[in-house]
Amino acid sequence: MSLEAPDPTFYVRAPIMNAQAGITLCRALFAACPKDAPAALLKSAAKVNAAADKAQSALALRQKALGKVSDEAARIVDQAGDASWGALRLRLLGFAELPVAKFPDAKRAAELVTILFGPDGLSFLKEAYSVQWSTADTILKRIDEEELEKDIDRIAGKAFLDNIRAQHEQYGAMVQGILLREQAEGVNLADHVRAMGRAIVEYATKVCASVDEDDESSITAARSALRPLDAYREAATRRGNHVQPPAGTEVPPSA
């Protein structure tokens, strides 16, 4: 009995899948493509793999956002950061009020207030979190580059700048978490599922087109190349022809 060629009509629609299942299926199809296949088919297989790459990157971004910074946690970090800068400024301002004749560092304290905070003082702490972090980071870089830390520690006490640096590190992590969350919220996994579906259909169509029904080896090669897709659909049929994805990710892409 001769081997039957795959029926192209079985592959004109992409399977129902979520992002995770689509990535797995695309990887399997790419691996199953014969290495000596025609250039057009190899190109199509590469598109399947590329679609999986993009979907996987988007999925990874979404998963990282699951550990996002809550608004309440961000507020607490912001308050601690603001307090650290406020404490240092108040300390320097207080020292600057001392009589210079008796306390020579009073003059340097006033200079440091101007160098670090300028005429706007702590107004930067009212800006958006990312702007606050950037401004604070610039001040810290200036402290390092101009070697101001020794004077600050001598006049205010080492604990003040140490506290600022510790809070600044946490502030940076908080800002990164918020940016990641916002970026992830703009990721539409459904678009990636549709893209994988289109790539799969294109690939399957070209596999079917490569078959010579008088050449059993080409039929065998096509069956092998399509086996991951056939197996996926068979498994879906056994589960009631339904794949239950995470909420918001299921899309039945058409060809």
Percent of the chain with pLDDT over 70: 88
The burial of 237, by beta-carbon neighbours within 10 Å (0-12 exposed, 13-18 middle, 19 or more buried), is given as exposed
Tell me what the mean pLDDT of segment 147-175 comes to: 96
3-state secondary structure at position 17: strand
pLDDT per position as a tens digit, 68-94: 567 788 899 999 999 999 999 999 999
Task: Report whether pLDDT(250) > 50.
Answer: no
Task: Report whether pLDDT(47) > 60.
Answer: yes
> How would residue 177 be classed by pLDDT, with cut points 50, 70 and 90?
confident
Nearest to 236 by CA among 86, 77, 18, 72: 18
Lowest-pLDDT choice from 57-61, 111-115, 196-200: 57-61
Residue 253: its pLDDT value, please?
40
Distance CA 249, CA 255 (A): 18
> How would residue 187 be classed by pLDDT, with cut points 50, 70 and 90?
low
Residue 111, H or E segment: helix 105-117
Instruction: Judge contact between 116 and 139, C-beta under 8 A.
Output: yes
Kindly report the pTM of this predicted structure.
0.51
User: Residue for token digits 């004077």?
Assistant: 151
Residue 248: its pLDDT value, please?
38
Residue 123: its pLDDT value, please?
95
Tell me what the mean pLDDT of segment 123-146 comes to: 95
pLDDT per position as a tens digit, 29-43: 999 999 888 899 999
Residue 181, H or E segment: helix 158-185
Task: Report whether pLDDT(150) > 50.
Answer: yes
Distance CA 90, CA 163 (A): 14
pLDDT per position as a tens digit, 218-246: 899 999 999 999 999 888 887 764 444 44
Nearest to 96 by CA among 182, 16, 155, 20: 155
Residue 60: its pLDDT value, please?
83
- Which domains are delineated in the chain? 8-65+189-238 (1.20.120), 69-185 (no CATH)
Mean pLDDT computed over every residue of the chain = 87
Lowest-pLDDT choice from 76-80, 151-155, 176-180, 227-231: 176-180
Please, which residues bridge with residue 17 across strands?
251
Residue 247: its pLDDT value, please?
38
